[in-house]
Structure 1
């Protein structure tokens, strides 16, 4: 195996730990996040969850992918949507093509059942971004996106939306109204407090249902393992 292939395989293993090492402490934390999400709604079930961050590189795509895995492991029919139409990564994580996906469905060039790919994780489907469009925000805020959400709910139990960072572009704010809940991912030792607060402010001003915050890359002192902490807003 070439060094590049080995690195790619190792990166995938790190990113999809809930699938490849379900007994690990990190996988358990993802299951805790799943449980907290399910208990966060008293009157109605949270079926669509938007995952975002304040800035790039904080782990929102890894969080979205692993959340999708643990929901699927619970027996839910799950769709992970790469709604980051600027720097999509979900297809890399699952080693899938990105020649078609969300943008093809939104522009009526493909049907959802053609574009969504079933993964080797039972019950988990992925809708990659597809070709990167010149107008991501307009596409995500379009009538086609509203109609597509109706299809999502008909076909799937849980929809996880991986969206761009809040402080970078407006895409996440646009989509937050369409989702039942939003999770903000911040990176321990990297995300500035001011950034996190500004991201929260932008999301709440968009009238989204902010379920909580995931603290990513926090090292445990004893065994130097990473863990994730889900806290309320």
Structure 2
């Protein structure tokens, strides 16, 4: 009998479409999870580092910015391990730390990206006191100022299971999205993350699960969907 060779290669074009559609689904769920007029503020966090938090937050921000007339800004709040500038390929300085220390203007730290209607504020410099800066009155005033010009503010915050710098930002946000990584984030880690966020009285919008292969979707849903209003699968960070 003649052997038939089975093509086990991945259809990258179809895979890319699936990824884009996943982010659009997340975009829709976020929009319908926050019932308010005006600017919507969303904080992204994770249990630990390396779970795809920054790339996920930027991809969701990009999906939001693709809507007609929607202005979005990503604000770097992970001041211990900043990655927004690297992901968007923009300069890290001047940034939010410079602005909060009154070293430059808001215009100077607000950077254009290659994505239309999407701007970003990077970190500037690694500060010795990130928790104090994010909890400062200057940070609260910055958020109020940005609310006037943008439809969405996306905060890329530190992993809540590692440091508590992000708690003031979560309190100021309309909702929090937890990013987890398939076959990496553990159930106890996720549970601790949820409990910490709940203690701040912040609203958990849902969990976005990264690195999920198409055939694992149902398995992933059962594992994580209890923690929020929506579920998201990804094939890559």
Query: What interval of TM-score do these two structures reach, taking the shorter chain for normalisation?
Result: 0.7 to 0.9
Mapping of residues 104-183 of structure 1, within 5 Å: 104-183=98-177
> CA separation in 2, counterparts of 1:63 and 1:230?
17
Q: Deviation at 1:134?
A: 0.3
RMSD (Å) for aligned C-alpha atoms? 2.3
Q: Deviation at 1:46?
A: 6.4
Q: Deviation at 1:41?
A: 2.6
Q: Deviation at 1:70?
A: 0.6
Provide the secondary structure at the position in 1 that maps to 2:185.
Answer: coil
> CA separation in 1, counterparts of 2:20 and 2:149?
26
Q: Deviation at 1:51?
A: 0.3
> CA separation in 2, counterparts of 1:230 and 1:114?
40
> CA separation in 2, counterparts of 1:22 and 1:145?
39
| Among 71, 76, 79, the residue aligned to 1:85 | 79
Q: Which has the larger radius of gyration?
A: 2
| Among 33, 38, 59, the residue aligned to 2:52 | 59
User: How does the TM-score come out when normalised to structure 1?
Assistant: 0.84
Q: Check 1:201–1:44 CA distance in 2 against 1; reply closer, same or farther (3 A cut).
A: farther
For this pair of structures, how many residues does the alignment match? 209
Q: Deviation at 1:209?
A: 1.1
- The question of whether the paired residues in 2 share the 8 Å contact of 1:30 and 1:67 is answered with yes
Unaligned stretches of 5+ residues in structure 2: 1-13, 217-222, 230-237
| Among 42, 53, 56, the residue aligned to 1:49 | 42
- Tell whether 2:214 aligns with 1:220: yes
- The question of whether the paired residues in 2 share the 8 Å contact of 1:38 and 1:46 is answered with no
User: How does the TM-score come out when normalised to structure 2?
Assistant: 0.83
- After superposing on structure 2, the runs of 4+ consecutive aligned residues of structure 1 that deviate more than 2 Å are 41-46, 229-233
> CA separation in 2, counterparts of 1:45 and 1:22?
35
**CA-to-aligned-CA distance 1:80-128 (integer Å, 9 cap, x gap):** 1111100101111111111211111111111212111111211110111
> CA separation in 2, counterparts of 1:230 and 1:23?
23
